[in-house]
């Protein structure tokens, strides 16, 4: 066996340098994450108290500015409705793509636009709904929570479709064939075999979409606007965490800015929890 020529020191050096640079860049990429989390905990935890979660913002010029109860519940209301809209439609479209459309021309067009939709800025969805529902005063209201839900649903829809389609395709073809061969009609195959089999994966996709929708500010700005108090009336303006934070950032009062940090920490914790649950669910589905 002949000896290989050793790598020249110049090449070795450039290898070490470049590998080092790539490593450093990776650390640099993680610095913002660490800093954001550090500041959220540093500034946000001090805002957390019982009152913070049990009172509504009161708009008082002086004194205690109130907590974020209405913002948390408002976000839950708006996002829950958006989920109820986007998840069934999204799974429906995905079912069309996997069970019926397959590689047909129309199915590919749908796929294409769903993909492109993910790149549409959220502010544009807000403008769409502003034009179609807010300016038109649909439902007798201008700004209303349900309109915000629709804007968020538009945003969440492509995420649901894409993730659902991937999961539905994972259902083994042999399973469908077996059921069909036994004489089951297609709709029964879909509802009794395909959907139950892919359920955990579908839940993952839905949760990720929820996590994405919960943090969006721009669509709500144009559709829901802001209200201080707690309300269950979806045909009214409503408070929400992102809008509350957005407003509080622009305040000169230290107490209000602290509330913004506390609300931001709350929002991030909610979103991370959703992500973790989704991750756990997707792990499970991979075991199957």
User: Can you tell me which residue has the tokens 């990776």?
Assistant: 26
Q: Say whether residue 203 binds another protein (CB under 8 A).
A: yes
Name which position in 18, 41, 45, 269 contacts another protein (CB under 8 A): 18
Q: Say whether residue 257 binds another protein (CB under 8 A).
A: yes
Minimum CB distance to another protein, residue 49 (Å): 19
Contact in structure between 204 and 285 (CB atoms under 8 Å): yes
Q: Say whether residue 228 binds another protein (CB under 8 A).
A: yes
Q: Say whether residue 195 binds another protein (CB under 8 A).
A: no
CA–CA dist 53, 262 (Å, integer): 10
Within 153-172, which residues bind another protein (CB under 8 A)?
A: 157-159, 162-163, 166-167, 169-170, 172
Q: Say whether residue 181 binds another protein (CB under 8 A).
A: yes
Name which position in 47, 147, 179, 259 contacts another protein (CB under 8 A): 179
Minimum CB distance to another protein, residue 23 (Å): 6
Contact in structure between 155 and 219 (CB atoms under 8 Å): yes
Q: Say whether residue 251 binds another protein (CB under 8 A).
A: yes
Per DSSP, helices labelled H in 96-132 are 105-117, 122-129
Minimum CB distance to another protein, residue 50 (Å): 17
158: nearest Cα among 101, 212, 106, 195 = 212
Indicate if the alpha-carbon torsion angle 133, 137, 138, 143 is positive or negative. positive
Name which position in 41, 58, 64, 269 contacts another protein (CB under 8 A): 58
CB contact set of 99 (below 8 Å; sequence gap of 6+):
168, 186, 190, 194
Minimum CB distance to another protein, residue 51 (Å): 14
Contact in structure between 255 and 67 (CB atoms under 8 Å): no
State the number of binding residues for another protein (CB under 8 A).
168
Angle at 134 between CA 234 and CA 229, to 5 degrees: 40
- Give the other-Cβ count within 10 Å of 253's Cβ: 12
Name which position in 14, 46, 49, 54 contacts another protein (CB under 8 A): 14
Minimum CB distance to another protein, residue 209 (Å): 9
Q: Say whether residue 28 binds another protein (CB under 8 A).
A: yes
Name which position in 148, 223, 234, 259 contacts another protein (CB under 8 A): 234
CA–CA dist 268, 62 (Å, integer): 28
CB contact set of 279 (below 8 Å; sequence gap of 6+):
204
Minimum CB distance to another protein, residue 202 (Å): 9
CA–CA dist 124, 115 (Å, integer): 16
Q: Say whether residue 77 binds another protein (CB under 8 A).
A: yes
Name which position in 64, 246, 259, 269 contacts another protein (CB under 8 A): 246
Within 104-133, which residues bind another protein (CB under 8 A)?
A: 106-107, 109-124, 127-128, 130-132
70: nearest Cα among 51, 94, 53, 87 = 53
Name which position in 15, 46, 54, 85 contacts another protein (CB under 8 A): 15
């Amino acid at each position: 066996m002949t000896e290989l020529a050793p790598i020249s020191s110049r090449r070795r050096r450039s290898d070490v340098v470049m590998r080092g640079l790539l490593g450093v860049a990776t650390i640099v990429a993680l610095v913002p994450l660490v800093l954001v989390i550090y500041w959220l905990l540093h500034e946000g935890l001090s805002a957390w108290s019982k009152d913070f979660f049990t009172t509504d913002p009161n708009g008082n010029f002086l004194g205690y500015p109130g907590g974020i109860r209405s913002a948390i519940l408002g976000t839950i209301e708006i996002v829950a409705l958006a989920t109820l809209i986007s998840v069934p439609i999204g799974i429906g479209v995905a079912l069309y793509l996997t069970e019926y459309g397959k590689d047909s021309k129309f199915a590919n067009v749908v796929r294409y636009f769903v993909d492109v939709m993910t790149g549409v800025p959220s502010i544009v969805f807000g403008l769409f709904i502003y034009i179609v529902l807010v300016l038109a005063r649909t439902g007798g209201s201008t700004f209303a929570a349900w309109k915000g839900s629709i804007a968020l649903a538009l945003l969440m829809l492509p995420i649901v479709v894409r993730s659902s389609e991937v999961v539905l395709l994972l259902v083994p073809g042999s399973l469908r064939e077996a059921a069909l061969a036994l004489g089951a009609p297609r709709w029964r195959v879909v509802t009794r075999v395909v959907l139950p089999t892919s359920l955990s994966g579908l839940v993952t996709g839905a949760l990720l979409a929820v996590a994405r929708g919960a943090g969006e500010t721009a669509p709500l700005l144009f559709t829901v606007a802001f209200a201080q108090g707690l309300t269950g009336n979806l045909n009214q303006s409503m408070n929400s965490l992102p809008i509350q934070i957005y407003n509080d950032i622009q305040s000169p009062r230290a107490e209000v800015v602290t509330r913004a940090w506390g609300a931001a920490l709350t929002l991030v914790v909610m979103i991370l929890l959703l992500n973790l649950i989704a991750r756990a669910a997707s792990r499970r589905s991979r075991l199957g």
